[in-house]
Amino acid sequence: MEEVVIVGAGISGLTAAIYAKRKKMDFVLLGENFGGQFLESGKINNYPAITEINGTELSKMFEKQLKFNQIEPKIGEKITKISKIDSGFKLEGKKDNYQAKTVIIATGSHPKKLSIKGEEEFANKGLTYCSICDGPLFSGKTIAVIGGGNSALEGVDFTHKVAKKIYLINIDQKFNAHQELIDKATAYDNVEVVNEAETEEISGEKMVTGLKYKKDGKMHELAVDGVIVEIGRTPNTDFLEGFLQLNNKKHIQIDCQSRTSVEGVFAAGDCASGNEYQYAIAAGQGCIALLKAARYLAGR
């Protein structure tokens, strides 16, 4: 039985693993893939002490750090069920089963996608899913922000001083967001709202150059330098339903010490409540989760 099993090899899980190694704990780091959200990120210029880097490069830096600390993650493993057993927990995976006295869940989230032509082709080539992360990349450019909820309106509010022109493409007749945020985001001179518009295609050559949408039964085309899809994210927590308390958005409910509703189970990063989908926050929560798990074990 391990002292801790860390589920997820994104920035939260990797940070937790580094701290577990430094504390000389018996642990296992599991992940479906290595890097998590790194795999979807273009340029990153808001991580402390790093001026600018992309997701692939940052992933390689973490890989190097794990090797330095002699940590060997089990990649390609997906946990499908966690249950309580005597003195700890049983984790059932697609490849193997594991037992642990404590568990840290850092399974992250994934962006909701449009599932349209050109979306996969231009991912990280002018198409992104995070205004706060990647908005500064579109300085002085014309972009489209797709979505009608709080995240889309917040994206417009964040990028309006950066972009030259913003088309806000909303599939519904009205916005499904806080009224104060709607009033603020739609009042900017460089923002043009297009309601009842269904995005049909992202186009370009090496990078995004255009967007097509359908409105009133007719096809329209916009010349844009970038597209930010902000239609929400989904936490990777389906396997936890019935085991942990999840909020109405299916994020794991945690307190300020990363504790979940089940004693001995901790959560961190994008899968947890209070989420802001930021690397710095995810890393910090991964650190907190491991330290609190260690303190919990010491108390036992």
CATH class of the domain comprising 113-229: alpha beta
Task: Judge: domain 2-110+233-299, CATH 3.50.50.60.
Answer: yes
Cβ burial, residue 261 (10 Å; 0-12/13-18/19+): middle
Strand-pair partners of 5: 28, 103
**pLDDT (average), residues 90-119:** 96
pLDDT at 45: 80
Calpha distance 90→82 (Å, rounded):
6
pLDDT at position 156, please? 95
At 30 the pLDDT is 98
The Cα-based distances of 173 to 157, 169, 185, 216 in angstroms read 20, 11, 16, 12
Mean pLDDT for all residues in the chain = 94
CA 32 to each of CA 96, 183, 186, 269: distance values in angstroms, whole numbers, following the listed order: 13, 41, 40, 16
Regarding pTM above 0.85, the answer is: no
pLDDT confidence bin for 42, thresholds 50/70/90: low
Lowest-confidence pick of 51-55, 116-120, 143-147, 265-269: 51-55
Indicate the domain borders of the chain: 2-110+233-299, 113-229
Least confident of 123-132, 184-193, 197-206: 123-132
Average pLDDT over residues 57-68: 94
2-110+233-299 and 113-229: identical CATH topology: yes
% of the chain residues with pLDDT over 70: 98
pLDDT tens-digit profile of 229-245?
Answer: 999 889 999 999 999 99
